Amino acid sequence: MMNIRVLLVDDEEQFTSLLAQRLAARGFIALTASNGDEALARLDQEEADVIILDLFMPGKSGIDTLQEIKRVKPLTEVIMLTGHATVEMAIKGMTLGAFDFLIKPTETEELVEKITKAYKRKAEQQDRIRQAEVANILKSKGW
């Protein structure tokens, strides 16, 4: 595994705890937060490659949290996860930058596959940015 850092954000503590254990057993670094504000505070302190974000939580909603995550960490991929999905909410989440949208309960293997794909997309975007920066440096030096 590539030491992918996954932040699980859900107000159901038992769910996040169990999912964190399952992901850790597969080689992921699993972090948890119980609401949107806690997730954003955690992101101020630690990096996360992929965030699994519940749509409906007390306080800041998953959609509001997604918007804030994309504002402060635009390359961090977010997978929306909920037991109460509506097509409209899924479309809104995807429009705001979510990588994918899954319905609870989801199979752990399906989630692992989505996390891995989201991480690869993030890594590819970071590589393109680095390449552009190197090209700009070389161009500025006349190379």
CATH number, domain with residue 67: 3.40.50.2300
Burial class (CB in 10 A: 0-12, 13-18, 19+), 74: exposed
d(CA 137, CA 119): 27
Average pLDDT over residues 71-80: 96
- Provide the mean pLDDT of the chain: 91
The pLDDT value recorded for residue 7 is 98
Give per-residue pLDDT as tens, 9-19.
999 999 999 99
User: What is d(CA 44, CA 63) in angstroms, rounded to the nearest whole number?
Assistant: 19
The residue segments making up the domain with residue 15 are: 5-140
Q: How many domains does the chain have?
A: 1
Q: What does the alpha-carbon distance between residue 71 and residue 91 come to, in Å, rounded to a whole number?
A: 19
- Reported as a single tens digit per residue, the pLDDT across 37-58 is 999 999 999 999 999 999 888 8
Neighbours of 23 (CB within 10 A): 22
Q: For the CA atoms of 4, 73, 62, 54, what is the dihedral angle to 10 degrees?
A: 0
